[in-house]
Amino acid sequence: MKVKTAKAEKAAKAPKSPRVTTSELNVKKAAARLLNVKLVSTEIAYVQRSLGASATQDQLDERVVAVRSMPWSAIMLPE
Q: What is the DSSP string of 6-47?
A: HHHHHHHHSPPPPEEE--HHHHHHHHHHH-SSPPPHHHHHHH
pTM confidence score: 0.76
Domain coordinates in residue numbering, the chain: 17-75
Residues 3-42 have pLDDT tens digits of 666 665 655 565 677 899 999 999 999 999 999 899 999 9
Residues sharing a CB contact under 8 Å with residue 58, sequence separation 6 or more, in sequence order = 17
Predicted local distance difference test score (pLDDT) of residue 16: 74
- What mean pLDDT comes out for the span 34-51? 95
